[in-house]
Amino acid sequence: MPHNKRPQLVVLISGSGSNLQAFIDASENGSLDADIAAVISNKAGVMGLERADNAGIANEVIDHKQFADRESFDAELADRIESYKPDLVILAGFMRILTPEIVDRFAGRIMNIHPSLLPKYPGLHTHKRAIEAGDTTAGVTVHFVTSELDGGPAIIQAEVPILPGDDEDTLASRVLVQEHQIYPLAAQWFCEGKLTLKDGTPELNGEPLPISGTKFCSEKL
């Protein structure tokens, strides 16, 4: 990649795009040395597309309902992503399970964020499940994407306490603050060449990361 060209990101969304906004802000304030080449949504009319418009970012809708099956949707999606020549693909609230074909096509350069301390609580309703289990902490994980749902190698986690009286919404709001910090940070490490995926293991500054990824301490940043 030419030294004068910033890394290019493609962000996939399905909804409000709050993490997308965190990437837009980080790209504009310089904490993320990358440009968002495009935003792709599988749903029309969502707030995330408006955020992209407001930031002058190319965006488009690929409606999964217009395809006969998951494989044909993923094939079109992969081609559209590839057309922007991204260095990194960011799943930001993209509510589709990707087939192995698309995951393999972008292996080592596709990330997701999940609102739990993986491997705990893959899938949906993570905050409700953590509260009901009596956990004292919850959090969020940024990970590389593999064919296993929410099972890719962890890059970074941030923890928040579960407070007395917490419900799903109050816990989710505190976790979201952490999401908006650690996701652009993980992308920045990747864009700087500090973060790589080698033989299925994430390495940061040449050192393998622990199974749960590195821990984020907001007071240090």
Told to judge if 64 belongs to the known catalytic residues of this protein, a careful annotator would answer no
Classify residue 120 by burial, with Cβ atoms within 10 Å: 0-12, 13-18, 19+. Answer: middle
Which secondary structure element, helix H or strand E, spans residue 159, and what is its range? strand 154-161
> How far, in Å, CA of 179 to CA of 194, rounded?
20
> How far, in Å, CA of 108 to CA of 170, rounded?
34
Query: 142 near 160, Cβ under 8 Å?
Result: no
**Active-site position among 3, 64, 114, 180:** 114
Residue type, 219: E
> How far, in Å, CA of 203 to CA of 199, rounded?
10
> How far, in Å, CA of 94 to CA of 16, rounded?
10
> How far, in Å, CA of 10 to CA of 81, rounded?
7
H-helix segments, the chain: 18-29, 47-54, 70-83, 100-105, 126-132, 168-191
Which residues are designated catalytic? 114
